[in-house]
């Protein structure tokens, strides 16, 4: 029986080729997140600052860089798209506090967190809300990029809903409602000359 010999290059590629044979097709379509259809939080402030206070650990467990959807950008987009300034005084600060994606063995964890703070022109705190969302995936991961994308998508939806709940319950007096509402129709009535009925 003839003995087959592999070149050094072929032997290095063999594990990759064997792994690819059993894998499911990897996803390549990762739509951009969109908040255009959500109601805006129209605050009675002059400015809204968006800040990133989270610093990634960048250790061997950090896999955020592999995600097709940057978790920091996903949280920032909520603030940029939904929190609007509609006043003449005061300011708001929307901050990314956590945007973690880690993998330890067969466990992938994610966490997103944001805060919204209100300040007077004298820089005195006027209000504060905090929202957090977490997800965990346990088991084999055939497509890590797809798994990370799905986790970020689910967490940003949870964070978005929790943030809305917090703002509407704790910052209600700062919300300017009905600015974009359609005016109600006024019933017309014939005018009469002065002094006549």
Task: Give the count of alpha carbons within 13 A of 143, CB side only.
Answer: 14
Distance, in Å, from the CA atom of 72 to the CA atom of 55, rounded to the nearest integer, reads: 10
Q: What is the pLDDT of residues 59-118, one digit of tens each?
A: 999 999 999 999 999 999 999 999 999 999 999 999 999 999 999 999 999 999 999 999
CB 114 within 8 A of CB 93: no
Q: What percent of the chain has pLDDT over 70?
A: 77
In order, the DSSP letters of 30-92 are: -PPP--TTSPPEEES-SEEEEEE------STTB-GGG-SS-HHHHHHHHHHHHEEE-SSS-EE
Distance, in Å, from the CA atom of 166 to the CA atom of 172, rounded to the nearest integer, reads: 9
Looking at per-residue pLDDT, the higher value among 17 and 128 belongs to 128
User: Residue 17: its pLDDT value, please?
Assistant: 46
C-alpha 67: how far from its chain's center? 13
């Amino acid at each position: 029986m003839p003995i087959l010999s592999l070149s050094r290059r072929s032997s290095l590629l063999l594990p990759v080729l064997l792994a690819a044979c059993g894998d499911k097709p990897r996803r390549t379509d990762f739509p951009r997140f969109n908040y255009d259809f959500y109601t805006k939080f129209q605050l009675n402030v002059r400015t809204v600052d968006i800040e990133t206070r989270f610093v990634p650990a960048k250790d061997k467990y950090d896999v955020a860089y592999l995600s097709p959807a940057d978790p920091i950008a996903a949280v920032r987009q909520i603030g940029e798209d939904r929190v609007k300034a509609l006043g003449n005084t005061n300011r708001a600060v929307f901050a990314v506090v956590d945007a973690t994606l880690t993998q330890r063995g067969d466990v992938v964890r994610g966490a997103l967190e944001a805060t919204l703070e209100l300040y007077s022109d004298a820089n005195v705190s006027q209000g504060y809300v905090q929202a957090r969302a977490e997800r965990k995936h346990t088991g084999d991961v055939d497509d890590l990029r797809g798994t990370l994308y799905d986790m970020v998508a689910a967490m940003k939806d949870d964070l978005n809903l929790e943030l809305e709940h917090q703002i509407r319950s704790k910052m209600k007096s700062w919300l300017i409602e009905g600015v974009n509402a359609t005016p109600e129709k006024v019933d017309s009535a014939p005018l009469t000359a002065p002094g006549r009925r």
